[in-house]
Amino acid sequence: MQELKCYIYELDPDFVMITESWASDQIDDVVLKLDGYNIMRKDRQRKKGGGCILYCKSYLTAVMDSELTNFNDAEAVWCNLTTDNGNILMGVCYHSPSANSEQELDLHNMSSMACDRQGEKIICGDFNHSSINWGSLHSGAEGVNFVNLVQDCFLVQHVDQPTRGNNILDLVLSSNEALVENLLVNEPFGTSDHNTITFDLVTSVQIKVWKISYFDYRNGDYKNMNKYLSEQDWNVLFSDKGAEETWVIFKELLHEAVVKFVPKKTRKTSKKKPLWWTKKVEKVRRSKYRLWKRFTESQVHANYLRYKRALNLATKEIRAAKRKYESRLTKKIKQNPKAFYAYVRSNMKTRDHVSPLTEENGEVITDDVRTAKVLND
């Protein structure tokens, strides 16, 4: 997760699609969640490996499509993204190279069902069809059915560079060629032998800017607050009250005083770098990216070895920075326990917004008041 958090901080993507997540029902969402993102997942059942995860920014109106996500044993996650021009159906799929004919048929039937829906589609994932030449659409026997599926659904395949070795295994498919721009095949993710892919999804959405409201205690009017509290008849208020009732009365009055005499401020939520992030981590990661670019441009093996050394150094530096930060917190726990427990809590949970809800008639609810009413009912 540390490597993923680094990418999130550096790229700030709206969507993150992951295949071969290796997640299971024994791994809770809290372990996999990222601050500022909603998570949708489909784990492989009955055995290890596989699985897909789709992260989307909390401010986007994206709702999981349960019918497609729960389609038999197909390993895929689907969601409907609300845009100014209608919905875009987005899916991330994984097709194991050891999949049997029944599992392959499930994937194809699910994809056909998705393509029959109205609106645009984006389908990404690791499909493991090494024999397909995407320039000519010629294929060996193992990939013929998939090529036919892509053509029958009038999909466009955008990846034109190898994503593992000399093969194009990881694909970005769309129902409209103009939906995808600036696609790049980047370095592998961590120790994976598959390259990462980034692209721009060309669409327009209404973004709700989330703001956090908080009391500005530094500029509070404490003179008038003290006057207000001193004017209360505490003897009468606490008369014949037990300890719990007394505490409730005091707490409510104190809160009322804070509301009256302490101004509020708001700030926009923004991406946060990992707490253990250092200038050295940033430096070695930039060096890693630079050496990867040099290798892809030259295809010289010596440059690839330099990149691998830089990758190992970056991984080592991230681990060292995290250990050093945690060690410093532990040593100063008596002087600053607040920082220690805040860090512990940040690794146990994530603050997130409620995902968009769907009415029984299929309408997506984005209004806060309506959302609260639905949850209350």
- What is the pLDDT confidence band of residue 211, given thresholds at 50, 70 and 90? low
Q: What is the mean pLDDT of residues 337-364?
A: 66
- What is the pLDDT confidence band of residue 124, given thresholds at 50, 70 and 90? very high
Return the pLDDT at 272: 72
For 157-174, how does the pLDDT look when each residue is reduced to its tens digit (9 = 90+)?
999 999 998 999 999 999
Q: What is the mean pLDDT of residues 139-155?
A: 93
Q: Do 124 and 21 reside in the same domain of the chain?
A: yes
Which amino acid would we find at residue 368?
D
- What is the pLDDT confidence band of residue 351, given thresholds at 50, 70 and 90? low
Residue bearing the bigger pLDDT, 223 or 354: 223
- The count of domains in the chain is 3
Return the pLDDT at 371: 64
Q: What is the mean pLDDT of residues 195-203?
A: 93
- Does 351 map to a domain? no
Q: Do 234 and 302 reside in the same domain of the chain?
A: no
Q: pTM, whole model, 2 decimals?
A: 0.70
Q: Which domain holds residue 258?
A: 215-268
- What is the pLDDT confidence band of residue 8, given thresholds at 50, 70 and 90? confident
Q: Do 8 and 84 reside in the same domain of the chain?
A: yes
- Does 164 map to a domain? yes
Return the pLDDT at 270: 60
Structure tokens belonging to residue 353: 């917004």
- What is the pLDDT confidence band of residue 286, given thresholds at 50, 70 and 90? very high
Return the pLDDT at 227: 93
Q: Do 255 and 283 reside in the same domain of the chain?
A: no
Q: Please state the three-class secondary structure of the chain as a single string.
A: CHHHHHHHHHHCCCEEEEECCCCCCCCCHHHHCCCCEEEEEECCCCCCCCCEEEEEECCCCEEECHHHHCCCCCEEEEEEEEECCEEEEEEEEECCCCCCHHHHHHHHHHHHHHHCCCCEEEEEEECCCCCCECCCCECCHHHHHHHHHHHHCCCEECCCCCCECCECCEEEEECCHHHEEEEEEEEECCCCCCEEEEEEECCCCCCCCCEEEEECHHHCCHHHHHHHHHCCCHHHHHCCCCHHHHHHHHHHHHHHHHHHHCCEEEEECCCCCCCCCCHHHHHHHHHHHHHHHHHHHHCCHHHHHHHHHHHHHHHHHHHHHHHHHHHHHHHCCCCCHHHHHHHHHHCCCCCCCCCCEECCCCCEECCHHHHHHHHHC
For 65-86, how does the pLDDT look when each residue is reduced to its tens digit (9 = 90+)?
999 999 988 899 999 999 888 8
**Residue 292: pLDDT over 60:** yes
Which of 167, 201, 235 is the endpoint of a domain? Answer: 201
- Does 207 map to a domain? no
Return the pLDDT at 357: 62
Q: Do 7 and 143 reside in the same domain of the chain?
A: yes
**Residue 268: pLDDT over 70:** no
Q: Do 166 and 263 reside in the same domain of the chain?
A: no
